[in-house]
Amino acid sequence: MSRLRCLRTSIDAAAAYLGAEVAAPVAAPSCVVEGDQGVVMFEAGGRKRLRSMRWGFPRLTREMRVRGEDPGIIGLVADLTNPMWEQMVVDPRYRCIIPITHFANPDGDAGKKTRTWFSLNDTAVMAWAGFCRNIPDVGPCYAGMTMEANSAVMPYNDRMPVLLEQGEIERWLRGAIDDVIAFQFRRPVAAARIEVIHTDSPWRGGDPPPAATQIDLI
């Protein structure tokens, strides 16, 4: 999956879809890439809240330390058996939901790639299953879980977000590790529900999806 997604609706609309509250002012940049601040819903003390966090956990391998490199960023969870995730994914405290309206993949020839956006045609807000944690020296950060793409997304990328239905949010936030595994390895959302939006906007530094503001969220 690519590392570009959007929340092209209001914070209040996203909160209403997720059954969450906005405890403090939350900025919602229309497009987010790894390393940017994005909007996340997490549960604490029985209350679901929206807040801003950095997209991407710090990643520093032994080889990177030897070379004196700064930590990298990893914002996608594709392999649950990776030692990096072994403690986090089993603990419901670290589950979160990433509200999005679109995710993108590059399309076209090298050097001329454009943005192709993907959304659902039956709901404006999508609930992307994720993990979050407060990391020393970094602060609150998160990553989204990916799965095998459906046939609508596969021509552009073999991975896509793990998208939850509204009725599955509680199971994601509070379920056991078996639930996490089941969500990642089940069949993806049906390709017939995916709206593919082709654009001429350049992949790097391009515009957000033009159709997003026309979606009725009521």
pTM of the model: 0.92
Q: Determine the pLDDT at residue 136.
A: 87
How many CA atoms within 13 Å lie on the side-chain side of 123? 15
Q: For the chain, what is the radius of gyration of the CA atoms?
A: 17
pLDDT tens, position by position, 159-175: 999 999 999 999 999 99
Helix (H) or strand (E) holding 43: strand 37-44
| Bridge partners, residue 103, by sequence | 5, 118
| Listed residue (88, 94, 99, 89) closest to 41, CA to CA | 99
Q: Can you tell me the mean pLDDT for 141-148?
A: 97
